[in-house]
Amino acid sequence: MAASLQPDDLPEPAKANPSDLRSVLVTSVLNLEPLDKDLFRGSHHWVPFTQRLFGGQIVGQALVAAASSVSEDVNVHSLHCYFVRAGDPKVPVLYQVDRTRDGRSFSVRSVKAIQHGVPILTCQASFQRFQESPIQHQFTIPTVPPPEELLTREELIQKYLRDPSLVEKHRMGLNKLLAQEVPIEIKPINPPDMFHQIPQEPRQMFWVRAQGVIGPGDMRLHCCVAAYISDYSFIGTALLPHLKYRMQFVASLDHSMWFHSPFRADEWMLYECESHWAGNSRGLVQGRLWRRDGVLAVTCAQEGVFRVRQDPSKSKM
């Protein structure tokens, strides 16, 4: 998986604390067992409340499998995935890579994630050799407080739990969240009020990074970790204006990413998420991962399906 960073104004990495451990995202979550040429097996760790596999892990592992089949002088520039079946957390996932094309500048790989003999995800990933170009532009990073001034996800949950007016069902849900071992650090900016069902703008931002140390030299590995990170709390952005509804079913349909500039997934990045549209039981979310120095590192997009729980009294009318 080793690949050198391409020329860019990538900031100097922060000095790692010698007591820090290598990120569990590298050692376990995104670690695949090779079974044969272009065939891998992945295990899984964190399972959300849905009791389905976390989509970000399947995308990240699929990208690990794809990256293992290309030459070291190319890096991923885009991926496009479809979630076709719910993942079963009780069995491993097989990743089958098809070497679709190797060109002079671009290489394309197709990956199937398989359980019980059928695909649960299909992924197309494209890799590019570095090419200089005078054509460059990007948006400007939003002005937000730095991560040092914000509470972590866990600190926010503890703050909510100290509120004596918090109803019991929300208290139970927060305790379940607190018990989960999520391998990423999150610091929300203006966290939404999820407890009073007040409609909110379909936009959220938070600082995010992998727990532990990944290391500065393997850009492909940082991209695989970013794929994992990008799916966390992403599709929920589209539901922020609709908190009054009780959801019967929420699931991601697809996930796309475009990688623009080198970055470190174990350093703080700003994740800016917004939903421009929802309808026909679907919602579309777009996201941007910014390096702390203002460089746009990754653009993401995802569509999900939402089914609202029907009021039994209305369904009889």
How large is the C-alpha radius of gyration of the chain? 20
HSE, side-chain direction, 13 A CA sphere, residue 210: 29
Selection from 278, 206, 205, 204 nearest residue 238 by Cα: 278
Where are the strands (E) in the chain, listed by range?
32-36, 39-42, 75-83, 93-102, 106-115, 118-128, 184-189, 203-210, 247-259, 269-279, 282-291, 296-308
Please provide residue 167's backbone torsions phi and psi, each rounded to the nearest 5 degrees.
-70, 155
For residues 155 and 159, what is the distance between their CA atoms, to the nearest angstrom?
6
Task: Write the single-letter amino acid at 117.
Answer: G
Helices (H), 168-272: 168-179, 219-230
Which tokens in the block code for residue 112?
A: 């199937």
Tokens linked to 74:
């190319």
Residue 76 — φ and ψ, nearest 5°?
Answer: -65, 135
DSSP assignment letter at 21: P
Q: Which residue out of 107, 124, 252, 256 is catalytically annotated?
A: 252
Element (H, E) at 60: helix 55-67
* CA-closest candidate to residue 62, choices 87, 26, 96: 96
Q: Which one of 115, 124, 231, 275 is the catalytic residue? A: 231
Q: Beta-carbon neighbour count of residue 308 at 10 Å?
A: 12
For residues 226 and 42, give the distance between their C-alpha atoms in angstroms, rounded to a whole number: 18
Has 252 been annotated as catalytic?
yes
Supply the residues annotated as catalytic.
231, 252, 302
